[in-house]
Structure 1
Amino acid sequence: MAVTLTEAAARHVSGYLARRGKGIGLRVGVRTTGCSGLAYKLEFADEADPTDLSFESHGVKVFVDPKSLPYIDGTELDFAREGLNEGFKFRNPNVAAECGCGESFTV
């Protein structure tokens, strides 16, 4: 499977990388934290790590470390604006439960 971006998310990442003036894509992973155990981590990738798995979605490269992939395999990232709020939304088919604040999840 893979980690993918919607068209809206790909446009946002592409625009940000262009304004930033550097970068080759988006790095997505998980870290241990929160009341449910795992939280997503996002960062712009300036270079690929040799161990990264690479996916491409709507012309944007998505890099995932091998340890994170089992938790986020099949995830689709969307970018949404709701009123004054905007941000990435994760559609992860592996999530069994999320904490009440929405900051962490478990599989």
Structure 2
Amino acid sequence: MDTVFIEGLEVDTVIGAYDWERDIRQCLRLDFSLGWDIRPAAAGDDLTQALDYAKVAEAVQAFAEEARFELVETFAERLAASLMKDFGIAWLRLRVTKPGAVPAARGVGVEIERGCR
């Protein structure tokens, strides 16, 4: 299985368990590894056979715009399921970082892996 990746995609969303967090948008930084067989696209230099990372990024932005979760865990699970279903991705690894959540840390978050590689 080949891997298509997107690193450092920043999205603004409503995320957090505290009351004050429910009224603001916060930045999340996302890193993706997406399992995809690139051979058909490469053989014919054919974008229609590729996993279009621009469309994936657009879908992620749209998801984040509508999301209203308390936990980054929920954000990660729901986003992973949505991408796998909508794009036919068999396997993915997703890292969600919430910068500034812990003042002494550059960021905190979760990393999940779903599907079969």
TM-score w.r.t. length of structure 1: 0.27
Higher strand share: 1
TM-score by length of 2: 0.26
Structure with more helix by fraction: 2
Which protein is bigger by CA-based radius of gyration?
2
